Amino acid sequence: MIRSVGPQPKKSISFTNTVKGGQTKGYIGANQSRMAMSKTLMVLPEIKTEKMNISTPRTAIQVINALGVDVTPRPLYHQDPHMGTAKPNKLLTSQEGSYSSDYISSYSLYQNTINPSMLGQFTRSVLGSSSVSKSSASTTESIAEDLEEPSYKREKLTSFTDLRVVRATPEKIVTKEDLQKTIEITLTETETLSFFNLPTVLISVESEEAEKVIRRNKIYETLCRNRLGNDLYVERMMQTINGAPKNKEVQCDKIVKEDKGVMSSTWDLYDSYNAMDLSPLPTKQSMLESTSKASIPSKDREQRVIGSTIEKNSEASSLMDIENVILTKIRDDEEDHSESIMKSDKFRQDLFFMERVLMENLFQPKLAAYHQLPVLKEPEPEGPEDFLEGEKLEQETEEEVKKEEEEEIEIGTEESTIPANLERLWSFSCDLTKGLNVSSLAWNKTNPDLLAVGYGHFGFKEQKRGLACCWSIKNPMWPERIYQSPYGVTAVDFSTGAPNLLAVGYHNGTIAIYNVQSNSNVPVLDSSESPLKHLGPVWQLQWIEQDRGTTGDDKREILVSISADGRISKWVIRKGLDCHDLMRLRRTTVSSSKKGGEKEKKGEALISRQAPGMCFAFHPKDTNIYLAGTEEGHIHKCSCSYNEQYLDTYRGHKGPVYKIAWNPFCHDVFLSCSADWGVIMWQQENTNPFLSFYPTTYVVYDVAWSPKSSCIFAVANESRVEIWDLHVSTLDPLIVNVANPGIKFTTVLFAKQTDCLLVGDSDGQVAVYELRNMPTALDSGQGDIIDTLLGPKSNQQG
């Protein structure tokens, strides 16, 4: 039974109004509920008055269900009756403001929120009870339950405020011992509180109540059907009470929107796919999953990549504003990173390219002249050839093809009043090479831009440290490789079969083989340990490809060296350097027979039977035959098959023969130069000189044939470089280039593809000259011209 208490006079009028608005006919349940409502409403004014104790006037509401069981819901929190009351009011006032109107309005709001629900219950109960009698009890229950909710709420509100009070007062000081005390905490399970119970409206067909429910449903169905024309049922309109809505505004946090745009470019997609390929999908079973997973991370990566570039850009621009701050802060962190950049290989390579590019800019006209390309004129760029390929030894055929396409052979179409001359383009020199004497020059067989230069003094007394450098045309200011040694370098040559091998011969007789592909300065092979090494300076080295027809091997490359100890040796690279003597040069006397037998003149005491060899030259066609020049002035024709005897001896020189060169076009003719100031041209069959040239009174150090024409050769003597053209004149050189005083020209070398000549001097410089305005077309190298020379002219000089 619900105890009813009469409504008391209230200060808040609004409550009863609304309540009365919802009047219905006298249903018992409704009355009760109304009374209950009014009861609960009474609680509020008591709170407002501030003086009364909250706990006392609360009337206990009891709910008893149909069976008479007291099912009064018990509150979750039991308020302590001894607690003070002042605070909660303050709390409420502080929350809602000090105005009573606000107060009322807030409470009315409160009530309004409750009312519709209750009224809703009312309406439901109206309908419900009209139809089914059984439901009334349940509705009262439900209404009562609902009514309890607001009281709960209010109780909760007060309980919260009380909670606040409770917490504020006791403040114990927790001592250290308290902290270390073991506190026993007992956990017990509370009773199960059911907050919500929604009974199901579905019943299984197999349960016990199924029949009842089915019957009920059937009755209902018949009822619905009967309702239409039935007298028992009357349609009636009714107006529902709509509660007055109130607008409440709520402000939430600002929703921040960001626009992000991503542009995916072709390479972006390519990168993402490649990245996916690199991390392979695990198994075939999870193929599908992993593909889907992989697509997501790829997207992330895309976005990250793009995002990072965007960030970089923004960072770069913002950096300019706050550069100082960032610099000071980050400098410490970044130092490690920057050091690693400096050490990275890529950086080294980039520097290398950069240097080459700078060189190209500086030397562009010269290099263009060298390669016979049009010179770049500012400000109209004509697209100069790119020297950016930094690979030395794999000199790509592309470059050669380019050269061939772009090469303009400039035959002097000018009115040839300008005589032929040598124009100096540039010179290879750097600080390291200053003061050293250039002793030998050699082109790389595969890479036409790579030049090996050996620096070393010729004379015994002048010996200083030696140097072998590899220069590249692309960088005339610093050599690519530097191999230093305490002994002077007297001979260098690049190998044909393995173009990365450079053989270097030293003044002490050692031969070293370097691999120029690697950056190390240590030779790959060395003959200093070999028992058969040379005992005198190695004056010439050459790599020869020899047929090994007898043993059935393929062409094998051997290194042939000639040295002042009178031996011509061949070196074979098997596991080390193996040496075999090709020939021992024996001294011959002038007046004796041509055979190289020993003959001692009376009274002549020979210090050694060996004649120091100065140079050799293998026949261009037949690599079994070679010529060797000795210090005596003789040139011996020898064969690899005989190592005891000479085939022939050419006598004509009176001083050591420094260089022998076969004519590249006409294989019967060779030149030799010697310290007796002369250059002699020989024919192979004739042991007497064919033509001799004595232009100056200086020692001739080097002579070389031009690769383009059979009539042109270059001579380097101490004071000048001469270019002879036999077609024009056999008495005078065509071009004479005089050296600066104090400098001797020691070596000459022609460049193969172009009209350039390299001249090494005693100051460590290798100058590159271009032959200009040569009267004959330089690339018409026929042997016929020299044959015509040989025919009519048979100038013999002793």
Partner 1 sequence: MTEWTNEPGLCPLRSSGPRPAGLGAQAEVEETLKRIQSHKGVIGTMVVNAEGIPIRTTLDNSTTVQYAGLLHQLTVKARSTVRDIDPQNDLTFLRIRSKKHEIMVAPDKEYLLIVIQNPCE
- Which residues, numbered 395-434, are part of the site for partner 1 (CB under 8 A)? 431-432
- Residue closer to partner 1 by CB (options 67, 320) is 320
Residues 743-782 close enough to bind partner 1 by CB under 8 A: none
Helix-strand-coil percent breakdown of the chain, rounded to 5?
30, 20, 50
**d(Cα 469, Cα 482) in Å, to the nearest integer?**
5
In three-state secondary structure terms, 629 is: strand
- Biggest CA–CA distance in the chain, Å, is 170
Q: Out of 43, 294, 357, 728, point to the residue binding partner 1 (CB under 8 A).
A: 357
Residue written as token pair 């060189």: 359
> Residue 552: left (phi > 0), alpha (psi -120 to 50), or beta?
left
Site for partner 1 contains 738 (CB under 8 A) = no
Q: Out of 161, 433, 485, 717, point to the residue binding partner 1 (CB under 8 A).
A: 485
- Residue closer to partner 1 by CB (options 348, 793) is 348
Q: How far is the CB of 262 from partner 1 (least distance, A)?
A: 14
Contact string (CB under 8 A) for partner 1, positions 443-482, x = contact: ----------------------x-----------xx---x
The three-state (H, E, C) secondary structure of 355-417, written as one string: HHHHHHHHHHHHHHHHCCCCCCCCCCCCCCCCCCCCCCCCCCHHHHHHHHHHCCCCCCCCCCC
Whole-angstrom CA distances from 222 to 215, 217, 225, 226 are 11, 9, 5, 6
Six-digit token string for 235: 């349609």
Q: Out of 486, 597, 620, 775, point to the residue binding partner 1 (CB under 8 A).
A: 486
Residues 495-514 close enough to bind partner 1 by CB under 8 A: 497-498, 501, 506, 510, 512-513
Site for partner 1 contains 378 (CB under 8 A) = yes
Q: Which stretch binds partner 1 (CB under 8 A): 45-53, 178-186, 322-330, 652-660?
A: 322-330
Site for partner 1 contains 535 (CB under 8 A) = no
Site for partner 1 contains 264 (CB under 8 A) = no
Site for partner 1 contains 483 (CB under 8 A) = yes
Where are any strands of DSSP class E within 223-373? none
**d(Cα 120, Cα 241) in Å, to the nearest integer?**
10
Q: Out of 343, 461, 602, 621, point to the residue binding partner 1 (CB under 8 A).
A: 343
Residues 571-630 close enough to bind partner 1 by CB under 8 A: 573-576
Site for partner 1 contains 328 (CB under 8 A) = no
C-alpha closest to that of 393 among 489, 512, 479, 515: 515
Q: How far is the CB of 305 from partner 1 (least distance, A)?
A: 11
Site for partner 1 contains 344 (CB under 8 A) = yes
Site for partner 1 contains 278 (CB under 8 A) = no
Q: How far is the CB of 731 from partner 1 (least distance, A)?
A: 42
Six-digit token string for 154: 């209010």
Site for partner 1 contains 341 (CB under 8 A) = yes
> Taking the chain, what is the end-to-end CA distance rounded to the nearest angstrom?
157
Site for partner 1 contains 358 (CB under 8 A) = yes
- Residue closer to partner 1 by CB (options 472, 719) is 472
Q: Out of 270, 460, 642, 694, point to the residue binding partner 1 (CB under 8 A).
A: 270
- Residue closer to partner 1 by CB (options 543, 665) is 543
AA identity, residue 592:
S
Q: Which stretch binds partner 1 (CB under 8 A): 183-191, 203-211, 393-401, 483-491?
A: 483-491
- Residue closer to partner 1 by CB (options 387, 693) is 387
Name every residue whose Cβ is closer than 8 Å to that of residue 113 and which is 6 or more positions away in sequence. Answer: none
Site for partner 1 contains 551 (CB under 8 A) = no
CA atoms within 13 A on the CB side of 124: 15
- Residue closer to partner 1 by CB (options 512, 751) is 512
Site for partner 1 contains 290 (CB under 8 A) = no
Q: Out of 13, 127, 269, 411, point to the residue binding partner 1 (CB under 8 A).
A: 269
> Residue 584: left (phi > 0), alpha (psi -120 to 50), or beta?
beta
- Residue closer to partner 1 by CB (options 217, 520) is 520
Residues 186-245 close enough to bind partner 1 by CB under 8 A: none
CB 375 within 8 A of CB 431: no
Six-digit token string for 691: 């033509």
C-alpha closest to that of 765 among 462, 426, 450: 426
